[in-house]
């Protein structure tokens, strides 16, 4: 121990002394930055890296680079468009009636009992090298294996087959997998639910059957292998959004060998499971996985031929995003994700050049962003000096304030309660909210559909007339107009006739910490404009969720991130049959309007046509009139990039965008060296100060030693 310490200190001191140009504060291991490396981070360890279970953005940040789906979103195209990835072409969709007869032409949704997606995969796609493909290792691991890394075991690979896709769909239905979309897919894929029930019975009755044999022993009715490169998925009715699900990691191919390999008890005892060590066909493989410290992706040597796109929107082409057009992907060799729990060290390390990209926290917003007199967003001088770039994009998310439509005071479809909701909609000034709490990073919502999703209308046509009037842009209606609505609602001047005092409304929230105090006070003040008293009922996460599930909240705040870029993925949040309290769905306001529901059922099975747009417009109008939500805002993502980090494009649907990113390592090294020159003189001053202190100390010491003891 003593020797080790001595060596470590001498190493560090010799580095200090000898290498004055070497960055001593480099947080990475020496010689790690060989080749093109992306440096990123994670603040909490991902819960799952199994594509059947993972469903959050931090998980997708890793697994979408390792697993590939049949389709992907075109990186440089807007609006969002799908293109084949592991599929060789877009699917052929056949429609059938209830008798199983194939329908020709363009049948109406009501005639369609089943849709069949015929999917063809590319030839000769290889999985990454992985020990699971050495079937001999499934039963016995080498005695000499140290258990440190999977990649010290003998590796092999094989060609992707349609069986791997079918196996993954079966895994989704397997009760042991516990996929979050099992309930949803049970409603669509033919035979999915029955397969799940059969597997549950097999688990109980034949526990000796291993997982692979159990899943392979029973077919799933709606999923059929046609030949070695084709298979079909049959779904109930017409559901055009199904193809978007096929572009998500849930439907990535999974080799059965992976499941068999990871069931080895030695691996399980070392936390080496399929949930943590993926096996995919993607541009990278997970070479290092320590979710307690860092994870590293390395270039997959077996990655199939894929090139950087040659086409882009004019805007993106002008930004230089076609510089690498036609180059083989991925453009980098390695991606390192380091654990970084706190935003302050992350930000400082970004400024030192040790992270390539960064979001902007509220703490560092003023340091990074400035607004011109005309209100245009730009970077501060210090950021520009460092060659940092800024990209902004309105996210496909909505954060709203909802009314519980089952509540007697604010809910229901009577004219009085509608007027009350209209009054509150005007009074709660979301532009102010965005300015105060979001540093201006957001767009006040005019309806349920965010920008860049089909159905969203920009400009005057898209304004919510009940809350805004158009005067060179949307202008929030005056508080006097809100008060008029309040009179119509029976609460003149905010007075509740039943009590003779201010109307009292209740806001249920799980935000109770000091950070949320300002936000809650702001909300109180908004309703105070109408002389309505807002009582905040703060509770913990569990109780809040329970209140929402039982329909006992009155006002609440909630948000939704798009699963896929289709209006159905937002409109279904207001569909009556999705009521959270009544049906356990995602309609947290428990809104129900038969006209809206009927239109939703038509719209949800339509392609993006002008006719669909008309229906969406009607639905938006109905929802605005009923006002089950204050439409809230769509957050704007601000991202900073260093000069050596290129091709970044905020495509919010493309989870697999890492393969397009390029790095200039020489430029990075030059900047890092410039920004991180060690400064030694303060150490010398401290040492001198301590030496100076010794002088009086010595004098007093002499005096004490020379003094008489008694």
Partner 1 sequence: MINYILRRLLYVLPVLLGVNILTFVLFFVVNSPDDMARMQLGDKHVSQAAVNNWKQQRGYDLPLIWNQQETGIQAIKKTIFFEKSVGLFVFDLGLSDNGRDIVADISQRMWPSLAIAIPSLIFGVLANITFALLLIFYRGSYLEFGGLFVCITLMSISGLFYIIAGQFLVGKLLALTPISGYAPGMEAFKFIILPVVIGIISGLGSGARWYRTLFLEEAAKDYVRTAKAKGLSELQVLFKHVLKNAMVPILTGIVVILPLLFMGSLITESFFGIPGLGSYTIDAISSQDFAIVRSMVFLGSFLYIIGLLLTDISYTLVDPRVRLN
> What is the rounded CA–CA span in Å between residue 564 and residue 450?
12
Residue from 557, 529, 342, 548 nearest 437 by CA: 557
Q: Where does this chain touch partner 1 (CB under 8 A) — which range of 2-10, 60-68, 69-77, 454-462?
A: 2-10
The binding track of 658-677 with respect to partner 1, each residue x by CB under 8 A or -, is ------------------xx
Of 35 and 584, which has the nearer Cβ to partner 1?
A: 584
Pick from 305, 513, 682, 691 the residue near partner 1 by CB under 8 A.
682
Lookup: tokens for 493: 């001047």
Does residue 263 bind partner 1 (CB under 8 A)? Answer: no
- Cβ count within 10 A of residue 230: 15
Of 44 and 143, which has the nearer Cβ to partner 1?
A: 44
Does residue 293 bind partner 1 (CB under 8 A)? Answer: yes
Does residue 30 bind partner 1 (CB under 8 A)? Answer: yes
Residue from 616, 629, 634 nearest 589 by CA: 629
Residue from 191, 213, 193 nearest 203 by CA: 213
Does residue 341 bind partner 1 (CB under 8 A)? Answer: yes
Pick from 307, 371, 470, 701 the residue near partner 1 by CB under 8 A.
701
Q: Where does this chain touch partner 1 (CB under 8 A) — which range of 84-92, 101-109, 158-166, 337-345?
A: 337-345
Cα angle, residue 665 at apex, residues 660 and 671 outer, rounded to 5°: 120
The DSSP code sequence of 228-288 is TTEEEEEEES--TTHHHHHTSGGG----HHHHHHHT-HHHHHTT--TTTS---SSSEEEEE
Of 175 and 412, which has the nearer Cβ to partner 1?
A: 175
> What is the rounded CA–CA span in Å between residue 6 and residue 193?
64
Residue 537, beta-bridge partner list: 508
Does residue 367 bind partner 1 (CB under 8 A)? Answer: no
Cβ of residue 570: shortest distance to partner 1, in angstroms? 13
Residues 476-505 that bind partner 1 (CB under 8 A): none
Pick from 317, 325, 339, 495 the residue near partner 1 by CB under 8 A.
339
Residue from 47, 69, 167, 76 nearest 121 by CA: 69
Pick from 16, 325, 557, 643 the residue near partner 1 by CB under 8 A.
16
Does residue 352 bind partner 1 (CB under 8 A)? Answer: yes
Contact 420, 489 (CB under 8 A): yes
- Collapse the DSSP code of 186 into the 3-class scheme (helix H, G, I; strand E, B; otherwise coil) and give the result: helix
Does residue 180 bind partner 1 (CB under 8 A)? Answer: yes
For 360, 391, 441, the CA distances from 649, given in Å and listed in that order, are: 17, 8, 18
Of 639 and 676, which has the nearer Cβ to partner 1?
A: 676
Contact 71, 246 (CB under 8 A): yes
Of 4 and 144, which has the nearer Cβ to partner 1?
A: 4
Residue 210, beta-bridge partner list: none
> What is the rounded CA–CA span in Å between residue 537 and residue 621?
32
Pick from 56, 89, 435, 475 the residue near partner 1 by CB under 8 A.
56
Does residue 4 bind partner 1 (CB under 8 A)? Answer: yes
Contact 459, 446 (CB under 8 A): no
Does residue 209 bind partner 1 (CB under 8 A)? Answer: no
Cβ of residue 221: shortest distance to partner 1, in angstroms? 19
Of 163 and 288, which has the nearer Cβ to partner 1?
A: 288
Of 95 and 544, which has the nearer Cβ to partner 1?
A: 544
Cβ of residue 206: shortest distance to partner 1, in angstroms? 17
Residues 111-130 that bind partner 1 (CB under 8 A): none
Pick from 14, 108, 290, 414 the residue near partner 1 by CB under 8 A.
290
Residue from 137, 183, 184, 169 nearest 156 by CA: 137
Contact 628, 407 (CB under 8 A): no
Does residue 14 bind partner 1 (CB under 8 A)? Answer: no
- Cβ count within 10 A of residue 202: 18
> What is the rounded CA–CA span in Å between residue 261 and residue 135?
8
Does residue 315 bind partner 1 (CB under 8 A)? Answer: no
Residues 563-622 that bind partner 1 (CB under 8 A): 563, 584, 586
Does residue 695 bind partner 1 (CB under 8 A)? Answer: no
Contact 166, 191 (CB under 8 A): no
Longest pairwise C-alpha distance within the chain: 115
Of 142 and 584, which has the nearer Cβ to partner 1?
A: 584
Q: Where does this chain touch partner 1 (CB under 8 A) — which range of 104-112, 285-293, 426-434, 496-504?
A: 285-293
Pick from 19, 27, 35, 81 the residue near partner 1 by CB under 8 A.
27
Pick from 175, 237, 389, 462 the residue near partner 1 by CB under 8 A.
175
Does residue 183 bind partner 1 (CB under 8 A)? Answer: yes
Cβ of residue 375: shortest distance to partner 1, in angstroms? 32
> What is the rounded CA–CA span in Å between residue 76 and residue 14?
49
Of 178 and 392, which has the nearer Cβ to partner 1?
A: 178
Does residue 345 bind partner 1 (CB under 8 A)? Answer: yes
Does residue 696 bind partner 1 (CB under 8 A)? Answer: yes
Cβ of residue 446: shortest distance to partner 1, in angstroms? 25
Lookup: tokens for 318: 């002008």
> What is the rounded CA–CA span in Å between residue 455 and residue 629?
18
Pick from 540, 601, 607, 611 the residue near partner 1 by CB under 8 A.
540
Of 324 and 508, which has the nearer Cβ to partner 1?
A: 508
- Collapse the DSSP code of 84 into the 3-class scheme (helix H, G, I; strand E, B; otherwise coil) and give the result: strand
For 35, 139, 393, the CA distances from 651, given in Å and listed in that order, are: 26, 44, 9
- Cβ count within 10 A of residue 235: 20
Does residue 198 bind partner 1 (CB under 8 A)? Answer: no
Does residue 528 bind partner 1 (CB under 8 A)? Answer: no
Cβ of residue 144: shortest distance to partner 1, in angstroms? 20
Q: Where does this chain touch partner 1 (CB under 8 A) — which range of 4-12, 63-71, 98-106, 623-631?
A: 4-12
Q: Where does this chain touch partner 1 (CB under 8 A) — which range of 375-383, 632-640, 661-669, 695-703?
A: 695-703
Number of residues that bind partner 1 (CB under 8 A): 71
Cβ of residue 488: shortest distance to partner 1, in angstroms? 37
Give me the residue label for tokens 């093109």: 36
Does residue 12 bind partner 1 (CB under 8 A)? Answer: yes
Report CA 118 to chain centroid distance, whole Å. Answer: 29
For 168, 325, 415, the CA distances from 622, given in Å and listed in that order, are: 41, 45, 14
Pick from 6, 9, 97, 387 the residue near partner 1 by CB under 8 A.
9
Cβ of residue 552: shortest distance to partner 1, in angstroms? 16
- Collapse the DSSP code of 518 into the 3-class scheme (helix H, G, I; strand E, B; otherwise coil) and give the result: helix
Does residue 47 bind partner 1 (CB under 8 A)? Answer: yes
The DSSP code sequence of 22-55 is S-TT--S-TTTT-S-EEEEEESS--S---TTT--
């Amino acid at each position: 121990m003593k020797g080790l310490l001595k060596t470590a200190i001498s190493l560090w001191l010799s580095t200090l002394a000898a290498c004055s140009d070497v960055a001593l504060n480099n947080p990475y291991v020496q010689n790690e930055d060989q080749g093109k490396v992306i440096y990123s981070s994670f603040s909490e360890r991902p819960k799952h890296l199994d594509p059947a279970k993972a469903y959050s953005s931090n998980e997708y940040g890793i697994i979408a680079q390792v697993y590939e789906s049949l389709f992907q979103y075109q990186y440089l195209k807007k609006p969002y468009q799908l293109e084949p990835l592991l599929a060789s072409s877009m699917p052929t969709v056949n429609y059938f009636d209830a008798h199983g007869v194939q329908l020709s032409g363009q049948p109406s949704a009501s005639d369609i009992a089943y849709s069949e997606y015929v999917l063809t995969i590319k030839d000769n796609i290889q999985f990454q090298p992985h020990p699971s493909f050495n079937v001999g290792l499934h039963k016995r691991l080498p005695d000499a294996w140290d258990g440190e890394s999977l990649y010290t075991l003998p590796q092999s690979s094989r060609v992707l087959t349609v069986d791997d896709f079918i196996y993954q769909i079966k895994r989704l239905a397997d009760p042991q997998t516990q996929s979050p979309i099992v309930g949803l897919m049970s409603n669509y894929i033919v035979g999915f639910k029955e397969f799940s029930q059969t597997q549950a019975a097999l688990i109980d009755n034949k526990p000796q059957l291993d997982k692979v044999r159990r899943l392979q022993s029973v077919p799933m009715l709606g999923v059929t292998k046609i030949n070695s490169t084709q298979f079909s998925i049959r779904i109930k009715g017409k559901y055009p959004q199904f193809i978007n699900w096929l572009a998500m990691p849930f439907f990535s191919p999974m080799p059965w060998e992976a499941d068999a390999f990871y069931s080895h008890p030695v691996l399980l005892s070392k936390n080496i499971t399929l949930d943590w060590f993926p096996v995919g066909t993607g541009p990278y493989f997970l070479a290092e996985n320590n979710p307690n410290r860092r994870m590293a992706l390395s270039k997959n040597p077996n990655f199939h031929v894929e090139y950087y796109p040659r086409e882009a929107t004019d805007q993106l082409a002008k930004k230089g995003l076609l510089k690498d057009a036609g180059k083989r992907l991925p453009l980098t060799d390695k991606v390192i994700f380091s654990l970084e729990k706190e935003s302050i060290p992350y930000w400082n390390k970004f400024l030192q050049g040790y992270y390539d990209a960064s979001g902007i926290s509220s703490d560092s917003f003023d340091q990074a962003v400035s607004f011109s007199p005309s209100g245009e967003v730009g970077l501060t001088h210090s950021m520009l000096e460092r060659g940092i770039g800024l990209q902004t994009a309105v996210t496909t998310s909505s954060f709203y304030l909802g009314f519980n439509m089952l509540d007697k005071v604010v809910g229901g479809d009577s004219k009085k309660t509608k007027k009350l909701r209209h009054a509150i909609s005007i009074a709660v000034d979301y532009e102010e909210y965005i300015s105060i709490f979001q540093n201006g990073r957001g767009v006040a919502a005019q309806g349920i559909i965010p920008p860049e999703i089909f159905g969203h209308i920009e400009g005057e046509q898209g304004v919510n007339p009940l809350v805004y009037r158009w005067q060179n842009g949307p202008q929030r209606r005056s508080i006097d107009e809100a008060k008029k609505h309040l009179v119509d609602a029976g609460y003149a001047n905010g007075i509740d006739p039943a009590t003779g005092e201010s109307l009292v409304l209740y806001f249920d929230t799980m935000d109770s910490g000091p950070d949320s105090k300002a936000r809650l006070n702001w909300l109180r003040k908004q309703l105070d404009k109408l002389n309505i008293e807002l009582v905040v009922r703060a509770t913990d996460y569990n109780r809040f969720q329970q209140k929402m599930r039982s329909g006992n909240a009155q006002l609440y705040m909630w948000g939704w991130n798009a699963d896929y870029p289709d209006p159905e993925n937002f409109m279904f949040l207001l569909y009556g049959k999705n009521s959270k309290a009544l049906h356990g769905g995602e309609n947290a306001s428990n809104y129900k309007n038969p006209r809206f529901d009927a239109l939703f059922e038509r719209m949800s099975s339509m392609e993006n046509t002008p006719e669909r747009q008309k229906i969406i417009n009607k639905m938006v109008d109905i929802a605005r009139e009923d006002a089950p939500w204050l439409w809230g805002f769509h957050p704007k993502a601000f991202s900073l990039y260093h000069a050596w980090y290129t091709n970044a494009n905020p495509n919010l649907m493309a989870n697999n965008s890492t393969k397009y990113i390029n790095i200039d390592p020489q430029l990075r090294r030059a900047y890092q060296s410039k920004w991180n020159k060690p400064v030694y003189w303060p150490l010398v001053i401290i040492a001198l100060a301590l030496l100076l202190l010794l002088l009086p100390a010595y004098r007093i010491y002499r005096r004490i030693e020379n003094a008489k003891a008694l």
